[in-house]
Each structure stands twice: as C-alpha cells, then as structure tokens.
Structure 1
Amino acid sequence: MNHSFILKAEWDGGRNSQGTIEAGQLKTAISIPKEMGGPGIGTNPDEMLLGAAATCYLITLAAMMERGGLPVERLSLESEGIVDVTNNVFTYVSITHKPYIVLKAEAGEKDVEHALRLAEKAESSCMISRAVAGNVALSTVPRVEKA
C-alpha cells in the first residue's frame, strides 16, 4: 500500500528570492539561509531535512517505547545537522539525535537499559533515516534518567 504526499511550491524570482510551500498541515515561507548567502526568510531545505529526520526519529522512538511498555514520564529531543561547504558545493554531512528520556521514578535498571537500546534502534527503524542512510552520517546520543 502506497501513501501519497503532495507539496505545492511558489517562488518569487531568482536565487535570493523567497517562496512558500504547502503540504497538508505544513505551510511556510522558504528561502536560502543567511549563512549560505540568502535572505533567511522562513525555513530552508537544510532545516526541513533536519526536521523530517528529527520528527521521524522522535515519533518512532515514542512508538517503540510505548510498545515496549516503558514507563515514560517525558521525552524530548535535540537534533543537529551539519552541512559542509567546500568549493561552493553544499553537502549535508551528518545528523545527530540527542534524545532525553525521563522514566517514571518506579522504573528499574532494566527499563533504563531498554530505553537506551530503543533510542539506538529507533534510528535504523525510522523511514527518513533509512532514506538518507549512506549519504548522511546518522548518530544518536541518548540520555536516560529516572524522575
């Protein structure tokens, strides 16, 4: 069974112009980021790739922990994308996910170990991670604590 996602885009001019995209619940302005010589209006492909990878990872991890019966109190994530610029060629080099998992106070040491394993496994289970694997280095640096 296939799922189709449609994105519509409008662009106002040349390289340093701006545009808009709309896909389902996503509607935003787009341009090249200031760091890359653009106007920095709205979001950009680099942030969107990082956002896709991070949200996919986070949702995958949450589902895995729920299925695993882990007593999760709180789950948050910080992700970092690194883009290299060499000879005016932009290359997305790596994405690192840093999940912060807080388990309920009654969680045991086995729960902590299970959460750490799932934090690693979620990376290879995420559809976006699988799509970019081999082109972008992916890593996970989880932190698990008890409330």
Structure 2
Amino acid sequence: MRHTFHQVLHWNSKRNTIGQVTIANYTHDFSIPASLDGPGQGTNPDELLLSSAAGCYIMTLGAMFERSNIEDAHIELKSELLVEVDAGTYKVSELHHYPTISYVNLEKRKLIERLVHKADERCMISNALKGNVKITIHPTFKEVAREDSIL
C-alpha cells in the first residue's frame, strides 16, 4: 500500500520574500527565519520539519499506547531542532524530543518507558531522518493520583 501527500508552494524569485504553503486546504505564510537574516514571517522549513518530526512521534506514541491498552496516560511533548552552519552550509544536526508522560497505572510504568523509546523507531519521519540527524528522546515520567489526573 502506498500513501501520497501533496502540497502547493508559492514563492517569488527573491531570497527575503514571504511565500505561501498550502497543505490539506490550509494556507500558511513561510519565510526564512529572522535568526537567519530573513523576514521571519509565518513558519519556515526548519519549524515545519520539527513539527513533522514531533507530530509523527507523538501520534506514533499515542497509537502504541492505545494498542497496549494504556488509557490513563497523558503525553506532553516539547521538541528542539539544532541547525549547524559550516562555511555557509546549513545542516540539521540534532533533534531532541522531551516527552512528559503523566500516568495513573503504576503497573504499566515499565511498558510506558519502553514505548516512549520504541515510538521513535516506528515513526516514519524519524526513520527518514536517521543517518543524517541525531535523534534523542529525553523522557520525564510523572505518576499522578486518579483524582489529580488531567487525563
């Protein structure tokens, strides 16, 4: 089975313009980030890559929790993308995910810990980046009482 995804981009011939990207009927501005001497309006390819990697990771983890009958856990994810510049060449070097897992069922702690790392192995975006980008998972686990649960 093959899945195909599409997008449409509009850009003029100048470096510091503001383009538009349309994905799934949503149009967003994008430009070179201000930190790279661009206009910094809308999103940018670096943020889109980070969003893709983080979104894929958290959805994969959620699906793995569901298949493992982990119904009493909440996932919050912060992620960071590092870009290095060497002789004018920009390269994504590292991706760090910082998932915080709040859970109620202490018996499932070991399974939750295993799945947090397994999700990176199963995420299609992580697999596309591997070999070029160092990906690291830095989890935090919080046991919460059922009455304090935000789940």
Question: Pairwise mapping of residues 94-113 of structure 1 onto structure 2 (< 5 A)?
Answer: 94-104=94-104, 107-108=105-106, 110-113=107-110
Are residue 78 (structure 1) and residue 78 (structure 2) matched? yes
Equivalent-residue separation in structure 1 for 2:96 and 2:102 (angstroms): 19
Equivalent-residue separation in structure 1 for 2:41 and 2:139 (angstroms): 32
TM-score of the two chains, using structure 1 as the length reference: 0.93
Are residue 30 (structure 1) and residue 27 (structure 2) matched? no
Please tell me whether the aligned partners of residues 112 and 145 of structure 1 are also in contact (alpha carbons under 8 angstroms).
no
In the alignment, structure 1 segments of 5+ residues that lack a partner are none
TM-score of the two chains, using structure 2 as the length reference: 0.91
Shift of 1:25: 4.6
What is residue 5 of structure 1 aligned with on the other side? 5
Helix, strand or coil at the partner of 1:98: strand
Please tell me whether the aligned partners of residues 18 and 31 of structure 1 are also in contact (alpha carbons under 8 angstroms).
yes
- Sequence identity (%): 36
Helix, strand or coil at the partner of 2:35: helix
Helix, strand or coil at the partner of 2:114: helix
Equivalent-residue separation in structure 2 for 1:61 and 1:12 (angstroms): 39
Q: Let me know the Cα RMSD of the aligned residues.
A: 1.1
Equivalent-residue separation in structure 1 for 2:72 and 2:17 (angstroms): 44
